[in-house]
Structure 1
Amino acid sequence: MNYASWGPRAGAYIIDFLIVTPFSILAVVLGGPGVDAETGQATGPGPLYWVFIVLGIAVSGYNRWYLAGKTGQSWGKKALGIQLVGDASGQPIGFGMAFVRDLAHFVDGIICYIGYLWPLWDAKKQTLADKIVKTVVVR
């Protein structure tokens, strides 16, 4: 297999992150703290905050779990010509495993984010999450 190097993988992640960023910005700007009518004090996030947070999670989930699971390509991966597949099958991994892979990225981050750098020296260019769920990213 022609394994994708770290650069395109990181670039795809950045693209996927940038797609969701506007929802976070809108949540903070338009859904800022509500104000108690009697005391004039901030009461916490307004309802628009939660609307934009839920929309951001939905868009990210569609992109990273549904699309990446079904086709092997999130929007970022598609833009950079790489694909997420099962190591043994060479086929897209499905929604459930794409979700589990994102959960497994916790391991990549918990050790000072070293797991995200693992593809720099790994023979199959896998993160620790890829090793856990038995996936690879290919060109």
Structure 2
Amino acid sequence: MDYVGFWPRVGATLIDTLLLLIFIIPMLIAIYGESYFLTDSFFRGPAHFMISCVMPPLIQLAFWIALSTTPGKMAIGAIIVDAKTGGKPSASQCVKRCLNAYLSALPFYLGFLWVARDPRKQGWHDKIAGTAVIRRKTTAVPAALQ
């Protein structure tokens, strides 16, 4: 398996974050108005919590379960696989991976930084869930089409 390293995964995360913001910011403005960005309050209401805290991981989880990837990972040609078989991860592995991403983030993002030093490029959330992020296999282009 061709494991995807730290920096490409950072790039994929940035792409995913920007795409989510394209949907989240207009929704928050529609509900709270432009004054939403002028307050220092951490919690601005139940809609803020649902849109900013609940919706993003659920969308990410839906992509992982349905496609084994996210738009950001698609852009870098990566997929999430079962670390043992290289096949599609189970829904339960995806849920474990999602929940344990918070564990990876807690101690100064050490669980994510672990990807940079791990031989199989797994973060703590990958190790706990039994998943890995690899390059998507490309099909060879016949010589006649090149």
Hey, what's the Cα distance between the residues in 2 that align with 1:66 and 1:7? 24
Cα shift readout 1:57-82 (whole Å, capped 9, x = no counterpart): 557534x2233223321111111101
The alignment covers a number of residue pairs equal to 125
Cα shift readout 1:3-59 (whole Å, capped 9, x = no counterpart): 1111111111111111111333224322117xxxxxxxxxx65xxx839x4599557
Deviation of the 1:112 alpha carbon? 1.0
In structure 1, the partner of 2:73 is: 77
- Relative to the length of structure 1, the TM-score reads 0.76
Instruction: Structure 2: give runs of 5+ residues left out of the alignment.
Output: 34-43, 136-146
- Give 3-state SS (helix, strand or coil) of 2:125's partner: helix
Hey, what's the Cα distance between the residues in 1 that align with 2:70 and 2:91? 12
Hey, what's the Cα distance between the residues in 2 that align with 1:106 and 1:58? 15
Which runs of at least 4 in structure 1 moved beyond 3 Å after TM superposition? 53-60
- Relative to the length of structure 2, the TM-score reads 0.72
Hey, what's the Cα distance between the residues in 1 that align with 2:131 and 2:83? 5
Q: Which amino acid aligns with 1:61?
A: L
Instruction: Structure 1: give runs of 5+ residues left out of the alignment.
Output: 34-43
In structure 2, the partner of 1:67 is: 63
Identity of aligned residues (%): 26
Hey, what's the Cα distance between the residues in 2 that align with 1:128 and 1:19? 25
Cα shift readout 1:117-137 (whole Å, capped 9, x = no counterpart): 111111111101111111110
Q: In the TM superposition, what are the counterparts of 1:1-139 in structure 2 within 5 Å?
A: 1-32=1-32, 45=45, 50=47, 53-54=50-51, 58=55, 61-62=58-59, 64-139=60-135
